[in-house]
Amino acid sequence: MGKFEKEETGIEGLIVIKPTVFIDDRGFFMETYQKKDFFELGITDEFVQDNHSKSSKGVLRGLHFQKEYPQGKLVRVIKGEVYDVAVDLRKNSPTYGKYYGVLLSEENKLQFFIPKGFAHGFLVTSEEAEFVYKCTDFYHAGDEGGIIWNDKNINIEWPLEKIGGESFIIQSDKDKKWGGIV
């Protein structure tokens, strides 16, 4: 048996991963990626880039995607807490336009695998959060697309009460200008 449990989301390919955490009086140890175990979960993608971001409470990053060079992502939080969201943009998918959201935190140590063909974003619900993720393709400047966070067709139920309400959202100028799902 592998060191990871797979939780289905109802959207093909999109899964929440619970690692085995070994805890003792010194602290904890866990594997965050193991190629053989991930293959057993159905994740056969090769990861080529790791990223790390730090954000304050209320920061909403996304919803982002790459158009010509789509990226699969394996995401997790190492400090704080975020509400992480993936939206299915695969045109022939029966769940096109549907989303799944999961609370990721340093406490629950959950990971979220987002395959190619999804938009991705997160809202920081703690005072600050550090977010790390692996990508299956390199970032290509000029190739990114996005969807506005509050698109009425997707209707994401962001936990805005955790940040004090919608007026406390902090976004980049770029993220404020995205349109809706096409």
The catalytic residue among 64, 99, 100, 120 is: 64
Q: Is 140 an active-site residue?
A: no
Q: Where are the domains of the chain?
A: 4-176
Single out the catalytic residue among 83, 99, 100, 133: 133
pLDDT tens across the length of the chain (182 residues)? 469 999 999 999 999 999 999 999 999 999 999 999 999 999 999 999 999 999 999 999 999 999 999 999 999 999 999 999 999 999 999 999 999 999 999 999 999 999 999 999 999 999 999 999 999 999 998 999 999 999 999 999 999 999 999 999 999 999 999 999 97
Q: Is 139 a catalytic residue?
A: no
Write the DSSP assignment of the chain as a string of letters: --SEEEEE-SSTT-EEEEE--EEETTEEE--S--HHHHHHHT--PPP-EEEEEEEETTBEEEEEEESSS---EEEEEEESEEEEEEEE--TT-TTTT-EEEEEEETTT--EEEE-TTEEEEEEE-SSEEEEEEEESS---TT-EEE--TT-TTT-----GGGTTSGGG-B--HHHHT-----
Q: Which fold does the domain 4-176 belong to in CATH?
A: Jelly Rolls (2.60.120)
